[in-house]
Amino acid sequence: MTFHILLVEDEAKLARFIELELTSEGYQVSIAHDGIAGLTLVRESDPDLAILDWMLPGLTGVELCRRLRATGSKIPVILLTAKDEISDRVTGLDAGADDYVVKPFSIEELLARVRAHLRRLEEEKADGDSLRFADLSLNPRTREVFRNQRAIELTAKEFDLLAYLMENPRQVFTKEQILARVWGYDFVGDSNIIEVYVRYLRIKLEENQQKRLIHTVRGVGYALRCN
């Protein structure tokens, strides 16, 4: 995934320098040289992170940050500032900035902050996407499954079957429902295949004598539950 960074900095040379550094790190960069243009770019380009100079013509970086937050944007905002007085930091934080870099700064420091914020963003995103049940977690995006923090390797069908059950915990599904959803309506074959896959899944999920989570509901089908 290519991250998109918005840079609003009125010193053209500095803006160009930061842009080149960010681009060489593999980021996509949009630049504005004043606050108003910055605000327009935020709306148009939907950045993943913003680097805003504090002192800008038109609209200050702090005001820009405040307006950005007012629209509901939660992207990380790093303020560049020559003012390092504590009162100014508070003003910036009140406006919703996440971080500060005080001018003059080393580009490595700025890049490190950018990386840290984007990493946190990715982690939060991955985490937010995960389905959880008891000590089990499954991420549909990365297709990772963990039980009590231990990674579990699943085949594609095992994963799909578990994901289906985890999307609807405690709900009882018939074999026909599972077949239609996980194997597709055009599946031709024996519905006993589900017993086989449930057995595989249980073996993997209960490797360390953990509690059974996929239960057989006699005469009906299967459900994910704690007992």
Q: Cβ-closest residue to Ca ion?
A: 55
Question: Cβ of residue 29: shortest distance to Ca ion, in angstroms?
Answer: 18
Of 52 and 178, which has the nearer Cβ to Ca ion? 52
Q: Whole-angstrom distance between the N-terminal and C-terminal Cα of the chain? A: 40
Output 55 or 121, the one with its CB closest to Ca ion: 55
Please, what is the minimum distance in Å from the beta carbon of residue 42 to Ca ion?
18
- Residue pair 139/130 in contact (Cβ under 8 Å)? The answer is yes
Least Å distance between CB 224 and Ca ion?
Answer: 56
Helix (H) or strand (E) holding 222: strand 221-224
CA trace torsion 122, 145, 163, 143 (10° rounding): 50
In the complex with Ca ion, the residue whose CB is nearer, 35 or 76, is: 35
* Residue number with CB closer to Ca ion (14 or 118): 14
Shortest Cβ 81–Ca ion spacing (Å): 9
The first and second tokens of residue 72, run together, are 């509901």
Q: How far is the CB of 10 from Ca ion (least distance, A)?
A: 5
**Among residues 100 and 197, whose Cβ is nearest to Ca ion?**
100
The CB-of-68 to Ca ion minimum distance in angstroms stands at 18
Other C-beta atoms closer than 10 Å to the C-beta of 203 total: 9
Q: Please answer whether residues 159 and 144 qualify as being in contact, where contact means their C-beta atoms are separated by less than 8 angstroms.
A: no
Pick 10 or 48: Cβ nearer Ca ion: 10
Please give the residue ranges that form the binding site for Ca ion (CB under 5 A). Answer: 10, 53, 55
Neighbour order of strands in the sheet with 136-139: 131-133, 136-139, 144-147, 150-151
- Other beta carbons less than 10 A from residue 41's beta carbon: 18
- String of b and e for 79-112 (b: at least 16 CB within 10 Å)? bbbebeeeebbebbeebbbbbbbeeeeeeeebbe
